[in-house]
Amino acid sequence: MVIPPEQPLSPQAYAFLANLVYERSRIQLGPDRQALLTGRLGQRLRSLGLAGYEDYCRLLESRQGEEEVGSLIDLVSTNHTHFFRESEHFAILADRVLPRLADRRGASGRPLQIWSAAASSGEEPYTLAIVLAEFARQRPHVTWQVHASDISNRMLARCRLGIYEAEKVAVPDADLRRYFLRGFGEREGFYRVRPELRRHVHVQHVNLFQLEYPVPAGLDVIFCRNVMIYFDQPSRQELLDRLVAMLAPGGVLFMGHAESLIGLRHRLRTVWPSVYLRPE
């Protein structure tokens, strides 16, 4: 028998799943998320041909279950994002942060290194790439690279592809012409980020709580937006400490507008609400 999605999870199975998700991703699933999990998992159970949640928990515990843990995290994570989300951040980056960083860098030849640490389906790292490419058009000696990462393999696949529905590509017309290709035929109604821009965006899987980050240390800019809200306070503190350690002195950390460092220990200087500078 295949269960319908509306069948309630037993408290034990829910506790097991919430615990596993927390252990692996630090995403907190409070008691209020039970309905969401039931809805999303019903479909998954059906496609795996499993009879119930208990079987699903057993699969996750088994040796073959490791890959499924990734799918479970995919199912529970919130991936909402869009181009130029919280647009003030990109204006601050272009007008205040990049000129200072580029002046300091001078003609050293070292590329500016920017990390989009919870990149979801790619709209944030490609917005960063557009801002950097525009900046570099004015200052041809500036070279740059964007690192895009996320815990969700499903989102990373979309990020690598760089194809978006036309109505979701809300970018200025000039950027649309310069950085996107319009789809034809089967791809009508979609835009793809041009390869010249995609080449600057290095996409890889990173769990923000894994032991080491495979991005270069001494980063100039980190965008870690709209992900801290899913973590508890000790996890936020741990993550903040690790992100700050990845920044070069004078580097800048961007958090989501709804996120703040209140209650967290740090030595950062506030540049603007939710934008922080690591002192030299």
Ligand X SMILES: C[S@@+](CC[C@H](N)C(=O)[O-])C[C@H]1O[C@@H](n2cnc3c(N)ncnc32)[C@H](O)[C@@H]1O
- Which residues participate in catalysis according to the annotation? 40, 150
Buried b (16+ CB within 10 A) or exposed e, 243-278: bbebbbeebbbbbbeebebeeeeeebeeeeebbbbb
Residue of 50, 130, 150, 164 interacting with ligand X (CB under 6 A): 150
Residue of 22, 190, 209, 272 interacting with ligand X (CB under 6 A): 209
Q: Nearest approach, Cβ of 26 to ligand X (angstroms)?
A: 5
Q: Any contact of residue 77 with ligand X (CB under 6 A)?
A: yes
Position of minimal CB gap to ligand X = 81
Q: Any contact of residue 275 with ligand X (CB under 6 A)?
A: no
Q: Any contact of residue 38 with ligand X (CB under 6 A)?
A: no
Q: Nearest approach, Cβ of 121 to ligand X (angstroms)?
A: 7
Q: Any contact of residue 81 with ligand X (CB under 6 A)?
A: yes
By CB under 6 A, what part of segment 89-118 binds ligand X?
118
CA–CA separation, 175 and 173 (whole Å)? 5
Secondary structure, 3-state, 194-222: CHHHHCCEEEEECCCCCCCCCCCCCEEEE
Residue of 17, 101, 130, 155 interacting with ligand X (CB under 6 A): 155
Q: Who's near 241: CB < 8 A, 6+ residues apart?
A: 266
Query: What's the half-sphere exposure (Cβ side, CA atoms, 13 Å) at 92?
Result: 18
Residue of 256, 268, 275, 276 interacting with ligand X (CB under 6 A): 256
Neighbours of 120 (CB within 10 A): 26
Q: By three-state DSSP, how is residue 258 classified?
A: coil
Tokens standing for residue 224: 């870690």
Stretch of 8-16, 79-87, 164-172, 186-194 lying at the interface with ligand X (CB under 6 A)? 79-87
Report the interface residues with ligand X, using CB under 6 A: 25-27, 77-81, 85, 118, 120, 124, 150-152, 155, 207-209, 225-227, 230, 256
